[in-house]
Amino acid sequence: MINANNIALIKKDRLRFTKNKLSSGLALLAIVFNALYFVDVYRSDVGSYFYNWTIGASVLYNLIFMLAAFLSSEGVKNYKLGYSYVLMALGLGEIVRVFYIPLQARNTTDPTITTDALTELVAKNETVPTVMGDFQFYFCAGCLVAAGALCIIAGVVALIKTTTLIKYQAELEKNSRGSKS
């Protein structure tokens, strides 16, 4: 039966028969946050402002991210080591994205405002409207950070579990070879 000494062993042994649902679930959740991010960007004027190759690249990256994250979620579920690295890379990519469209849009003055109106606002010391408002910026950045963090956590968890399993299986193999000889 279970005691303090063999709990660690049982946990390791369980990996042989259970899937890594935690990493898989986290990766799928990351996809959801990424989706929230791009839906919010594309539905707003931000999308219109970046209506050039940038938005094309963004759309393409979102598609690649979702496909890669989904495949990785299936991969890590079955303890494929390579996919944990892919997830971590995707996570870092998501965090880097905060500095691209959301931050750029937030630091860019709204192009629909005329020069006169802009001068007047500056003269009155009022806030100059930007392509992306504060609330939208925090929401978008939050989504990207959340997606990135979830991917990284999923990747790290998968890495730990997979290496543990690989080592444990090697140990079992060694023991069974030893008992045969």
Partner 1 sequence: MSDLKLQHLEKIYDNKVQAVFDFNLNVKNGELIVLVGPSGCGKSTTLRMVAGLEDISGGNLIIDGKDVTKMPPKDRDIAMVFQDYALYNHMTIYENMAFSLMLRKENKNEIHQKVLAAAEILGLTDQLNKKPDQLSGGQRQRVAMGRAIVRTPKVFLFDEPLSNLDAKLRGATRREILLLHKRLRATMLYVTHDQTEALTLADRIVCMSMGHVQQIGTPLELYDSPANLFVATFIGLPPMNLFDVTVQDGKLYCDSFSVDLSAEEKALLAKYDGKEIVLGIRPENIVQGGSITVSVFSNENLGQTTLVNGAVGKHKITCKFREWSNFKPGDSVNVSFTRKHFFDKETTEAISSN
Cβ 75 to partner 1 shortest distance, Å: 17
CA distance 31 to 137: 19
- What are the tokens at 158? 């998968």
| Candidate residues 4, 5, 17, 52; the one interacting with partner 1 per rule CB under 8 A | 17
7 contacts partner 1 (rule: CB under 8 A)? yes
Nearer to partner 1, 2 or 123 (CB): 2
Q: What is the rounded distance in angstroms from the CA atom of residue 181 to the CA atom of residue 164?
A: 26
In the set 4, 5, 14, 92, which binds partner 1 (CB under 8 A)? Answer: 14
Q: What is the nearest approach in angstroms of partner 1 to the Cβ of residue 158?
A: 18
Task: List the one residue from 10, 96, 160, 166 that touches partner 1 (CB under 8 A).
Answer: 10
Alpha-carbon distance 90 to 130, whole Å?
Answer: 29
**Residue type for 99, please?**
F
123 lines the binding site for partner 1 (CB under 8 A): no
**Contact 111/46 with Cβ under 8 angstroms?**
no
Q: How far is CA 167 from the centre of its chain?
A: 28
Question: Which residues of the chain form contacts with partner 1 (CB under 8 A)?
Answer: 1-2, 7, 10-11, 13-14, 16-18
